[in-house]
Structure 1
Amino acid sequence: MAKTCWLERDKRKRKTVEKYAKLRAELKAKGDFVGLSMLPRDASPTRLTNRCRVSGRRRAFMRRFQMSRMTFRELASQGMIPGVTKSSW
């Protein structure tokens, strides 16, 4: 499980993204990329995507399943992910 501080930081980032979403859309429509770069770093929604929802891990992220490699392996071995089976040789 992710540390509580990581989860709280993720919530703060999501609030910041929501706060600046309308302004980002307007600046993108105008093509004002200088104005976009002046916004806070956490205002970009792409900074939220590659993070495991269960463990909070950023590295070894499997985008198709929206989870880290370790979480995927645990859930797959328990049979919790439909259509995924352990390969055998």
Structure 2
Amino acid sequence: MAKKSMVNRDVKRAKLIQKYAGKRAELKAIVLNPAASYDEKMEAQASLQKLPRDASPVRVRTRCALTGRPRAVYAKFGLGRNKLREATMRGDVPGLRKASW
């Protein structure tokens, strides 16, 4: 089980990302727009840097939905390798079974 503080920190980051998603998208569009002037781009870039650091989607860590484990998480299932294996053995994951040959 992961530390509760680390899991809560990621939840807080996810909320911050949702809060600033619209503003961030607008500023990114200005920066990437080839028709925008140099001054507009620089102003948009400066505004983008003034946003909170945790408003960037890259800063969220993928974690297991059950345990909060940060590593070896399968994005398709949202589970860590241990819990995914347990769920597979119980037959809870449709279409997935243990390999044998």
| Structure-2-length-normalised TM-score | 0.69
Partner of 1:7: 7
**Structure 1 residue 50 displacement after superposition:** 2.2
1:63 to 47, 69, 75: 75
> Could you tell which deviates more after superposition, 48-57 or 77-86?
48-57
Equivalences, count = 89
Distance change in 2, residues 1:57/1:36 (3 Å): farther
Return the offset for 1:58.
Answer: 1.6
* Cα distance, 1:49 vs structure 2: 5.7
Q: Specify the SS of the correspondent of 2:60.
A: helix
Partner AA of 1:27 in structure 2: L
Structure 1 residues 45-70: Cα deviation after superposition (integer angstroms, max 9, x where no partner)? 23336222222122112122222111
Cα deviations by residue, 1:9-33 (Å, 9 ceiling, x for unpaired): 2221122112211121111111145
Please report the TM-score for the alignment, with normalisation by the length of structure 1.
0.77
Q: Indicate the RMSD between aligned Cα atoms, in angstroms.
A: 2.1
Give 1:22's aligned residue: 22
- Segments of 5+ residues of structure 2 without an aligned counterpart are 32-43
Quick check: 15-24 or 44-53, which moved more? 44-53
Structure 1 unaligned regions, length at least 5:
none
Q: In terms of Rg, which structure is larger? A: 2
Q: One-letter code of the match for 1:36?
A: L
Paired residues for 1:67-86 under 5 Å: 67-86=79-98
- Matches of 2:9 and 2:20, distance apart in 1: 17
Match of 2:37 in 1: none
